[in-house]
Amino acid sequence: MAGRHRTFEEAIVLKKASEVFWAKGYESTTTEDLLKAMHLNKGSLYNAFGNKKSLFQQVVNFHATNLFLDLDQRIKGSVHPIQVIKELFREVCDPEDPAMHEKGCFFGNAVSELASIDKELERMAVEKLRTLESFFEKALEQAKDLNQWSGDTKTTARYLITIWNGVNVTRRMYPRRSDLEPSLRMSLQVLDNK
Amino acid sequence: MAGRHRTFEEAIVLKKASEVFWAKGYESTTTEDLLKAMHLNKGSLYNAFGNKKSLFQQVVNFHATNLFLDLDQRIKGSVHPIQVIKELFREVCDPEDPAMHEKGCFFGNAVSELASIDKELERMAVEKLRTLESFFEKALEQAKDLNQWSGDTKTTARYLITIWNGVNVTRRMYPRRSDLEPSLRMSLQVLDNK
DNA sequence: GCCATTTTATACTAATTGGTCAAAAACTAC
DNA sequence: GTAGTTTTTGACCAATTAGTATAAAATGGC
């Protein structure tokens, strides 16, 4: 294949784009915002990613792939799958970067914003949240096999994704860990069923 | 005071505006959308409500006033405050109009959308969600006084607002009542503490 | 009836939007 | 080196945006 090489790394510029979309949402992010963050020119962006919607779809997939790869790795080897779930929620309530609080969950944000705006993009974000739910389910099943937990896995997984969606809004109301911890502890009591 | 009278009812046009903002969010709602829904001309709208942001603020207050008036009434006379909370969540999971699912919670949507866009509007929506949380708290205290429930009211109220924020996203993932009910039942088990 | 005041209607504006285009630059294959 | 292909660059465009200006219509006090 002949022709000039790309001067940018796809993973790097997609990461940059995801930060902008994550913070500002889909509609409020302008092409100008993206160009600046990705250090690209207009032609390059449209040549490489098509258009704004297509870029967003690729960003969603990129973000999801990274997240679920990490989650799978964490759960795969673990002998304490319940702990993996708990740690995940702890990270949400007490992130290294406190600015994460105002960003919430990328997929949850997308669902909220796009539900009445763009059904195709909404369905895509919904699908990613469902994948996250299925990760919870997998972890619970694993814990069950290890006799570390008992309960209805499907119902509990759906309960957990609801807690997930919830804390990602509530953390904007109360960005301080100490304001979130007691109710989070209450939320996760279902994980202590032996 | 001389001059021509208004030909529109403020409450009616604010209701119309709230439906548009609720469905499409703040940024994606155009003045054209508002004008069409409110059956107003541009001049009338800007004369009566200032600008888009000011209109949004008035809509948020209008929506909140109506909601909290209704909630206060429901709880005021009730001898079963726990039931009032449960009914509220049932209505969310099984609304008369199924299209409500994709609209979610007006305030939660606003928080998600505006957290990184407009701090002033976000704080306003956060404040309304806090008021809703304080309503939960009041109902729980009332139940406690009636010896119908025991527990930590503050923590449980914060837990409930998190469930509220959560189901208002999860309902977009699963608009069917039967897909939401089991996990909702699990969520509300804390209300059965005697 | 007349004047002051307000609402309504519509034309207009300046800025921003997502997206296109054409030419130059950089590269591969031969 | 040259032809052919791709990426980069930046100017350009049509549509849409929130908001303004101006004039006509409607109202109330006198």
The rounded distance, in Å, linking the Cα atoms of A44 and A6 is 9
Which CATH number is B135's domain given?
1.10.357.10
A1 within a domain of the structure (yes/no): no
pLDDT at B95 over 70: yes
The residue whose two tokens read 């209701």 is B15
Lookup: tokens for B91: 């209505």
Nearest to B163 among A25, A166, A190 (CB): A166
For B7-45, b/e burial (b = at least 16 CB within 10 A) is eeeeeebbbbbbbbbbbbbbbbbeeeebeebbebeeebb
The answer to whether A157 touches A134, Cβ cutoff 8 Å, is: yes
A186 within a domain of the structure (yes/no): yes
B5 within a domain of the structure (yes/no): no
Average pLDDT, chain A: 95
pLDDT tens digits for range A144-171: 999 999 999 999 999 999 999 999 999 9
The rounded distance, in Å, linking the Cα atoms of A9 and A40 is 11
Q: Give the pLDDT confidence score for residue A72 in this predicted structure.
A: 95
Cβ of B69 under 8 Å from any chain A Cβ? no
The answer to whether A152 touches A177, Cβ cutoff 8 Å, is: no
Contact residues for A100 (Cβ-Cβ < 8 A; gap 6+): none
B109 within a domain of the structure (yes/no): yes
CB atoms within 10 A of CB B110: 26
Nucleotides in C strand less than 7 A from protein CB: 3-11, 16-23, 25-29
The nucleotide lying nearest A3 (C-alpha to C1') is D6
Nearest to A112 among B109, B182, B186 (CB): B109
pLDDT tens digits for range B117-129: 999 999 999 999 9
B97 within a domain of the structure (yes/no): yes
Least confident residue range of A25-29, B6-10, B11-15, B152-156: B6-10
Among residues A25, A27, A22, A30, which one has the least CA distance to residue A97? A22
Q: How confident is the model at residue B12 (pLDDT cuts 50, 70, 90)?
A: very high
Q: Give the pLDDT confidence score for residue B169 in this predicted structure.
A: 98
Q: Give the pLDDT confidence score for residue A1 in this predicted structure.
A: 60
The one-letter code for the residue type at B95 is: P
Average pLDDT, chain B: 95
CA distance B56 to chain A (A): 16
Among residues A72, A73, A57, which one has the least CA distance to residue A127? A57
The rounded distance, in Å, linking the Cα atoms of A108 and A122 is 10
pLDDT at B107 over 80: yes
The answer to whether B82 touches B149, Cβ cutoff 8 Å, is: yes
pLDDT at A2 over 80: no
The nucleotide lying nearest B2 (C-alpha to C1') is D28
Query: Domain tally for chain B?
Result: 1
B1 within a domain of the structure (yes/no): no
What average pLDDT does range A32-39 have in this prediction? 96
Which of B 19-58 have CB under 7 A of nucleic chain C?
40-44, 47-48
pLDDT at A83 over 60: yes
Nearest to A112 among B116, B169, B180 (CB): B169
Nucleotides in D strand less than 7 A from protein CB: 3-12, 16-23, 25-29
For B52-74, b/e burial (b = at least 16 CB within 10 A) is beebbebbbebbbeebeeebeeb
A4 within a domain of the structure (yes/no): no
* Domain ranges, residue B31: 10-192
pLDDT tens digits for range B51-78: 999 999 999 999 999 999 999 999 998 9
B59 within a domain of the structure (yes/no): yes
